[in-house]
């Protein structure tokens, strides 16, 4: 076992993922922390920009995962799929379905809180620093057909054979 949350996944080429809202490995802004789960934030997904995906990309999936959650299986905060290949960014707050900022055709699955939206970082008080992995996965299919109640883990299982490349950006946060 390793600190890499992808250690069980096949190695694939990488491309670049960035955010103007936080530095790689840096702290998430307060706005990206959870208000729903009582961490003093706004549950506002950060802006994400990516480049360099393979030319054969036909769609993307975006996920946010905390492998450090004290659950035995981590905590999925956000999962969006069927993002068209022509899209190379998601605006800040795209994780709020009421904001209407996701591209047409993109679908959001329920997270661990069973909400079909972005839920921000909320490590338990005193649990130490948690890592939050934003991942954009380039897929070789234009869409995936999933039950709308599927989990982010089911999404990962279903796209596993279609992954062309992966971009990842890690942020941290801690609740004293």
Alpha-carbon distance of 100 to 122, in angstroms, equals 24
**110 confidence band (pLDDT: 50, 70, 90):** very high
**Whole-number average pLDDT of the chain:** 95
Residue 44 CB coordination number (10 Å) = 22
Maximal C-alpha separation, the chain: 45
Query: Does 101 map to a domain?
Result: yes
d(CA 145, CA 130): 32
Q: Is residue 39 part of a domain?
A: yes
9 located within any domain: no
Question: Is 90 exceeded by the pLDDT of residue 132?
Answer: yes
Q: What is the CATH number of the domain that holds 82?
A: 3.90.280.10
**The token pair that represents 169 in the structure block:** 């950006």
Beta-strand relationship, 163-173 and 59-66: unpaired
pLDDT score of 2:
55
Q: Is residue 10 part of a domain?
A: no
Contact in structure between 49 and 88 (CB atoms under 8 Å) = yes
Please tell me the predicted confidence (pLDDT) of residue 118.
98
CA distances from 38 to 33, 42, 45, 97 (A): 9, 10, 16, 20
pTM value is 0.95
7 falls in which pLDDT band (50, 70, 90)? confident
8 pLDDT higher than 90 = no
With b meaning 16 or more CB within 10 Å and e meaning fewer, what string describes 55-81? Answer: eebebbbbbbbbbbbeeeebbbbbbbb
Total count of domains within the chain: 1
Decide if pLDDT at 85 tops 90. yes
Q: Which domain holds residue 46?
A: 16-173
> Does residue 141 lie in a domain region?
yes
The residue-averaged pLDDT of 11-35 equals: 96
Asked whether residue 8 is assigned to any structural domain, the reply reads no
Note whether residue 3 is domain-resident.
no
């Amino acid at each position: 076992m390793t600190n890499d949350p992808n250690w069980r996944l096949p190695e694939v080429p990488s491309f670049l993922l960035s955010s103007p809202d936080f530095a790689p490995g840096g702290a998430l802004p307060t706005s990206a922390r959870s208000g729903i789960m009582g961490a003093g934030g706004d549950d506002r997904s950060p802006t994400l920009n990516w480049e360099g995906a393979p030319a054969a990309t036909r769609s993307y999936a975006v996920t946010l995962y905390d492998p450090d959650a004290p659950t035995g299986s981590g905590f999925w905060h956000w999962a969006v799929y069927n993002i068209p290949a022509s899209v190379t960014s998601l605006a800040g707050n795209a994780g709020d379905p009421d904001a209407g900022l996701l591209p047409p055709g993109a679908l959001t699955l329920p997270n661990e809180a069973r909400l079909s939206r972005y839920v921000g970082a909320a490590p338990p008080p005193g649990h130490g620093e948690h890592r939050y992995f934003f991942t954009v996965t380039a897929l070789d299919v234009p869409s995936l057909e999933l039950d709308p109640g599927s989990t982010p883990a089911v999404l990962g299982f279903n796209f596993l054979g279609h992954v062309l490349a992966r971009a990842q950006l890690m942020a941290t946060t801690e609740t004293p």
